[in-house]
A = this chain, B = another copy of it.
Amino acid sequence: MDFIKHHIALIEKEIVSIPFPQQPSNLYDPCRYIFKLGGKRIRPVLTLLAHELYNSNFQKAVPAALTVETFHNFSLIHDDIMDNAPLRRGMPTVHTKWNTTIGILSGDVMLVHCYKLLADHYSGDELSRLLKVFNRTAAQVCDGQQMDMDFETRKDVSIDEYIEMISLKTSVLLGCALEMGAITAAAPIEDAAHLYEFGKNVGIAFQLQDDYLDTFGDSSKTGKQPGGDILAGKKTALVIECIEAASESDKVLLDEILHGQSSDKIEHVMTLFNKYTIAEKTRKLVEEYSHEAIQHLDKIKVDQQRKQSLISLTDFLLNRQH
């Protein structure tokens, strides 16, 4: 990602400058810690890139970019508690390194700091516009997380519901990151809306592809042994599509295999996936959402040349492992 290395470097520099107080250290050390665990910083970079469509000096977009990254890290802390996850990026999660109570509270204060970043750096109509998209998105991310948890105990989740869930849980934040960048550049309202839809659809395509690659990916490119999701019995897009397409007896069979401990688990599930052309169906969905994303990007009224970074980033996200 050479073309955005300066953006990433700036975000890394700014993240450590977020003025979290020193005390109480049990509250603010976890906030600094989760940021130090790293990450691709895709979301804040999207904010800067959206701003750059209209204004080459993206300094004004930085607090909005940090807001999005702070929100993302808040959600990681709380999600890790909810998912009982011991590790995050190979390091102990906050609630493991400290405790659950500290995890809850430091997440809370990070969410408050998102709003501090906005209110301390923006005002007037700009602040109102930023808050509206950010508030809506933040609530949607909670909705998506709850839907994800509700789906764990449901057997009748449709692929449309699944896409709605991943859209809320992860994709709207990409849209929000871009729209906030546009707002800080005083972009036209329609452009900001198209950027939001572009980001949301890229996010959905990315998530679906993530499910696809875990099972059908080339391990020499993904660096992972295929079938991890199948071994874990995860209810991925592939599983949900298979349930939608399968005969009653194959549905029962898929459920049995996924929840069983057979040594041929991956092979058996793959047989069913192949019978119902799940790889093709999923690739088609990824293409549809990618196409939808690019259509929104096309409608934005700035020179095509200026869109190159966003196009390259989309290519990177959606094609790197094909």
Contacts and interface: CB of A to CB of B under 8 A. Distances in A.
Contacts of A200: none
A78 interface: yes
A302 interface: no
Interface string A75-115: 00010011000000000000000001110110111011101
A139 interface: yes
B78 A142 contact: no
Contacts of A81: 100-101, 104
Contacts of A107: 108
Interface string A12-31: 00000000010110110000
A24 B165 CA distance: 11
A138 B119 contact: no
Contacts of A139: 109, 112-113, 116
Interface stretch (A34-42, A45-53, A124-132, A180-188): A124-132
Interface residues of A, number: 41
A308 interface: no
A74 to B, nearest CB: 8
Interface in A130-156: 131-132, 135, 138-139, 142-143, 145-147, 149-150
A118 B135 CA distance: 10
B135 A105 contact: no
A123 interface: yes
Given A111-B111, A139-B113, A101 B82 contact: yes
A115 B116 CA distance: 11
A127 B21 CA distance: 24
A146 B147 CA distance: 30
Contact of A26 (B24, B127, B150): B150
Given A26-B149, A116-B135, 20 more contacts: A23-B143, A24-B146, A24-B150, A26-B146, A27-B146, A78-B105, A81-B101, A104-B104, A105-B142, A108-B111, A109-B139, A109-B142, A109-B143, A111-B112, A112-B139, A115-B138, A120-B132, A123-B124, A123-B128, A124-B125
5 contacts: A78-B104, A78-B105, A112-B135, A112-B138, A124-B124
